[in-house]
Amino acid sequence: LKLHSFLTSKGYRVFLSSVSLKDKVAEEYEPYIYNALKTAQVMVVYGQKADYINSTWVKNEWSRFALMIKEGKKQPNSLVIVYENFDVNDLPTALKRRQCLDASQKTFYSDLLWHIEKVIELSKEKEKIKIEKIKIQPQSFTPIASVVDKDTIEVKNFRLSNLNEGYAVISSLAL
């Protein structure tokens, strides 16, 4: 609860099952958990024992979030593991490779805030970058535009009749 209070005091919307689901019936938990996982920019997994982090429900949640990262739906470093009172080497292998912060360290809160802010900053930058691809069809000068992933851009040399040789125009839009 201390971590929850700290993050909410900094203006973050925080989902903590014991707080967020306290007025819900157990059978109704899943839609709320799914929505929290889907909308969260950062997931902080906190445990005072490695067994807690590897418990069925908690493992289900961080595994689903890790899958979203793998699918490119979340920022690569958006899953943060916070451990306290145990050796980080007791964590499952899948989590040891993630950002792990020791809650007993003096700089823990500032380190966690820095990490969260960095992930959110990268998310905002990614959202701002939209690329427009313009396709010129033969015998038509009506541009057809579509949004494409920035990693798939190709600039090609082309020649059209009655026009000089040129390059495809690609513009970056900030939303």
CA–CA gap between residue 56 and residue 147 (Å, rounded) = 40
pLDDT tens-digit series, residues 23-72: 887 777 888 888 999 999 999 999 999 999 999 989 999 999 999 999 99
Q: What is the pLDDT of residue 101?
A: 93
pLDDT tens-digit series, residues 142-167: 555 555 555 555 544 444 444 434 44
Does the model's pTM come out above 0.75? no
Q: What is the pLDDT of residue 173?
A: 38
Q: If you ran DSSP here, which 8-state letter would residue 155 be given? A: -
Among 57-71, 86-100, 118-132, 161-175, the range of highest mean pLDDT: 57-71
Give the CA dihedral 104, 107, 109, 115, nearest 10 degrees. -120
Q: What is the pLDDT of residue 164?
A: 39
CA–CA gap between residue 12 and residue 68 (Å, rounded) = 21
Report residue 3's pLDDT band, with 50, 70 and 90 as the boundaries: very high
Q: What is the pLDDT of residue 23?
A: 84
Averaged pLDDT for residues 88-92: 90
Q: What is the pLDDT of residue 134?
A: 59
pLDDT > 70: percent of the chain: 72
Q: How far is C-alpha 164 from the chain's CA centre? A: 45
